[in-house]
């Protein structure tokens, strides 16, 4: 297992990036050189230097420290959205696939409704309706995200439910509920969990996008999207104020994507 | 009498209409007896077993009486059936690899039966799993219990399946081609094991197979099925030495025999008719070498052709013979001279 991971340098890079982000998030107070919220108008818009590695923003806050604390917000959103939408999507998809008939129709048409809107527009309208805050962004993204898992899980359940071990579980007297949760879902969950690991990156991206247009984190919160947004006007004078938060988003999304891709290759039985 | 099927018919919905898959199946299984069900693919052997277990597709119509320990189980609710499945009756499937969940250890899968049907606590269940693994002849039981299906060989997996089925000491065990996926030496071991377990536990076994070698090895009585109907029923010796129904004869002739040089192995021409285009009269008519006029129009009833030996064929039906005069007796003579 370990050797197969090491064979793919991109997966190793993904693991490294994700590990780095997690470490930064956990140890932010110790790793950040300055207080991310400390305003120092005397030191505003300083270019990168040994004192401020990534420079300072328009009110003199240390950008490096803000980015380090920003990992906490981004990771929290990514994890929470996936942790909320993944179980909901999985259970609904499993029920749709296993029960079939009318139940299947109702659940799948519901997912169709959600999937027929572009996700970002739907979450924008939900976030706008609920009012701008991190929690509402989280909720808006979770609401738009679960149908993907429902689709994936349903299709794998459909192929698993006709396997012989399901028949033999019935033959020892297991009830449908038990079969669904003990036999079918554990076998159907792999493709969806790969999607979930890829989605961590996309959720972070979407949340940054919502914050950028002002629907998410509010200043002075060190959220990357919000940082980008507030540095928009000073882009010509202070390239560092926009570049580093942007790079942070890039690195994070890339890390989760590489990790997800590596996981897919690793879990794909065809590559075994 | 452990299990009794009385005029059991089964219809499945195909393309919007019901098609009869089983037609008035009647058979008995006693305690400590192995009854073989043989026949070609698609003749309804497996469906008979699934009807007893009531593991049927959603839209199936089951008629007739299935008595298990003198209780009609066809009237049982779904929940009540779940209680006796795996407990009073258990089933073993053909392919032991696909019948085991790849994600659970085999110990866990044996334990599942115990969780479902007994009040044993965790420690007792663990003990019982080890006991069962020993019973089905697996060495180093404790190690094997924590292994996954893919780590075991085909024969070992089938032993696991047997352990799963035996966990609650069922009184009826249904085996659907349990040895088809195994190689010959392992086959013999598995059959021995099943014979042994039957004697120890006084189980009744239904052995579904198309392998007449397996029948000779383990069965006490044999039921021959053709196109959803039982055509002959006898004890094993009688059936092999003195087959009556032309279909049974055809089946027996199609087994190669060692030491006998034959230019061509016997085969039965034609194919089993599909259930939605069942011919009137005898269903074997088209393929039968001793077919008569009467066979075309009327279904032959089951009639006694010897001690504990019944067959559904006009050849042995006195009335049919009379009604059909010469052709009937000619056919009879022809078969007798065979």
Which tens digits make up the pLDDT trace of B163-207?
Answer: 999 999 999 999 998 888 888 888 888 899 989 989 988 899 999
Q: What is the pLDDT of residue B335?
A: 42
Full strand arrangement of the beta sheet holding B60-68: B17-29, B3-14, B60-68, B71-72
Beta-carbon separation of A172 and B112 below 8 A: yes
Where is B75: in which H helix or E strand?
none
Q: What is the pLDDT of residue B337?
A: 46
**Do B299 and B281 form a contact (C-beta atoms < 8 A)?**
yes
Count Cβ neighbours within 10 Å for each residue of A147-165 and write b for 16 or more, e otherwise: bbbbbbbbbbbbebbebbb
Q: Name the residue with tokens 């026949």.
A: B39
Q: What is the pLDDT of residue B92?
A: 92
Q: pTM for the complete prediction? A: 0.80
Helix, strand, coil in percent for chain B, rounding step 5: 40, 20, 35
Per-residue pLDDT reduced to its tens digit, B64-112? 999 999 999 988 999 999 999 999 999 998 888 889 999 899 999 999 9
- State phi, psi for A186 to the nearest 5 degrees: -60, -30
Looking at beta carbons, which residues of chain B come within 8 Å of A172? 85-86, 90, 112-113, 116, 164-165, 167
Q: What percent of chain A has pLDDT over 90?
A: 57
Decide if pLDDT at A179 tops 60: yes
Low-confidence ranges of chain B (pLDDT < 50): 319-338
Locate the chain A residue with the closest alpha carbon to B102: A187
Locate the chain A residue with the closest alpha carbon to B92: A168
Crossing angle for the helix pair B122-135 and B154-166, to the nearest 10 degrees: 130
Q: How many CB pairs under 8 A join A and B?
A: 62
Domains located in chain B, CATH noted: 3-102+153-219 (3.40.50.300), 246-337 (no CATH)
Q: What is the 3-state secondary structure (H, E, C) of chain A?
A: CHHHHHCCHHHHHHHHHHHHHHHHHHCHHHHCCCCCCCCCHHHCCCCCCCCCCCCECCCCCEHHHHHHHHHHHHHHHHHHHHHHHHHHHHHHHHHHHHHCHHHHHHHHHHHHHHHHCCHHHHHHHHHHHHCCCHHHHHHHHHHHHHHHHHHHHHHHHHHHCCCHHHHHHHHCCCCHHHHHHHHHHHHHHHHHHHHHHHHHHHHHHHHHHHHHCCCCCCCCCCCHHHHHHHCCCCCCCCHHHHHHHHHHHHHHHHHHHHHHHHHHHHHCHHHC
Beta-carbon separation of A173 and B82 below 8 A: yes
Q: Which residue out of B109, B111, B112 would a mutagenesis test of the A interface target, given it has the greatest number of A Cβ atoms within 10 Å? A: B112
Decide if pLDDT at A1 tops 90: no
Chain B touched by A170 (CB under 8 Å): yes
**Do A184 and A169 form a contact (C-beta atoms < 8 A)?**
no
Burial of B252 (0-12, 13-18, 19+ CB in 10 A): middle
CATH number at A2-34+62-271: 1.10.3720.10
Comparing CA positions, the residue from B67, B90, B173, B83 lying closest to residue B75 is B67
Q: What is the pLDDT of residue B85?
A: 93
**Do B279 and B288 form a contact (C-beta atoms < 8 A)?**
no
Decide if pLDDT at A185 tops 90: yes
Looking at beta carbons, which residues of chain B come within 8 Å of A175? 79, 82
DSSP 8-state assignment for residue B93: -
Question: For residue A118, what are its two tokens?
Answer: 């572009």
User: Which residue intervals of chain B are DSSP H helices?
Assistant: 45-53, 78-84, 106-117, 122-135, 141-145, 154-166, 184-201, 212-218, 236-241, 246-253, 293-297, 318-324, 326-337
């Amino acid at each position: 297992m370990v050797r197969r991971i090491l064979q793919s340098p991109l997966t190793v890079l993904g693991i490294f990036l994700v590990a780095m982000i997690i470490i930064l998030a956990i140890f932010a107070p110790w790793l950040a050189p300055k207080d991310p919220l400390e305003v120092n108008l005397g030191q505003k818009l300083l270019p990168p230097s040994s004192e401020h590695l990534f420079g300072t923003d328009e009110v003199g806050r240390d950008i490096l420290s803000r980015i380090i604390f920003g990992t906490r917000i981004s990771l929290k959103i990514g994890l929470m959205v996936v942790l909320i939408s993944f179980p909901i999507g999985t259970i609904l998809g499993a029920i749709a696939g296993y029960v079939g008939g009318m139940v299947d129709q109702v659940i799948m048409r519901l997912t169709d409704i959600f999937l027929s809107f572009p996700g970002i527009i739907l979450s924008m309208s939900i976030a706008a309706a609920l009012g701008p805050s991190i929690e509402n962004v989280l909720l808006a993204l979770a609401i738009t995200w679960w149908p993907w898992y429902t689709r994936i899980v349903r299709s794998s359940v459909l192929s698993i439910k006709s396997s012989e071990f399901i028949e033999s579980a019935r033959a020892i007297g297991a009830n449908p509920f038990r079969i669904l949760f003990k036999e079918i879902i554990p076998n159907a969950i792999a493709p969806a969990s790969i999607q979930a690991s890829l989605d961590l990156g996309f959720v972070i991206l979407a949340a940054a996008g919502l914050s950028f247009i002002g629907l998410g984190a509010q200043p002075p919160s060190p959220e990357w999207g919000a940082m980008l947004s507030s540095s928009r006007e000073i882009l010509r004078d202070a390239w560092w104020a926009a570049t580093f938060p942007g790079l942070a988003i890039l690195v994070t999304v890339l890390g989760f994507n590489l990790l997800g891709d590596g996981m897919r290759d690793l879990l794909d039985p065809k590559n075994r | 009498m452990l299990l009794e099927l009385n005029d059991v018919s089964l219809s499945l919905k195909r393309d919007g209409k019901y098609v009869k898959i089983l037609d008035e199946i009647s058979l008995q299984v006693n305690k400590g007896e192995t009854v073989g069900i043989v026949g070609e693919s698609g003749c309804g052997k497996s469906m008979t077993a699934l009807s007893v277990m009531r593991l049927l597709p959603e839209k199936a119509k089951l008629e007739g009486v299935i008595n298990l320990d003198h209780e009609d189980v066809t009237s049982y609710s779904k929940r009540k059936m779940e209680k006796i499945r795996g407990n009073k009756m258990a089933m073993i499937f053909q392919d032991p690899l696909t019948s085991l969940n790849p994600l659970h250890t085999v110990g866990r899968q044996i334990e599942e039966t115990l969780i479902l049907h007994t009040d044993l606590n965790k420690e007792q269940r663990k003990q019982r799993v080890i006991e069962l693994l020993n019973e089905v002849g697996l060495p180093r039981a404790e190690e094997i219990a924590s292994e996954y299906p893919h780590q075991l060989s085909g024969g070992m997996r089938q032993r696991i399946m047997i352990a799963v089925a035996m966990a609650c000491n069922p009184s009826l065990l249904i085996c659907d081609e349990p040895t088809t996926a195994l190689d010959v030496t392992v086959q013999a071991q598995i059959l021995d094991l099943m014979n042994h377990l039957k004697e120890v536990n006084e189980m009744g076994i239904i052995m579904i197979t198309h392998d007449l070698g397996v029948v000779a090895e383990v069965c006490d009585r044999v039921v021959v099925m053709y196109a959803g109907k039982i055509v002959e029923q006898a004890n094993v010796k009688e059936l092999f030495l003195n087959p009556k129904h032309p279909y049974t004869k055809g089946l027996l002739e199609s087994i190669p025999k060692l030491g006998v040089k034959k230019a061509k192995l016997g085969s039965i021409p034609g194919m089993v008719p599909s259930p939605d285009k069942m011919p009137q009269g005898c269903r074997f008519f088209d393929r039968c070498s001793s077919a008569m006029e009467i066979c075309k129009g009327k279904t032959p009833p089951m009639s006694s052709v010897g001690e504990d030996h019944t067959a559904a064929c006009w050849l042995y039906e006195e009335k049919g013979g009379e009604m059909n005069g010469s052709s009937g007796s000619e056919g009879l003579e022809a078969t007798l001279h065979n």
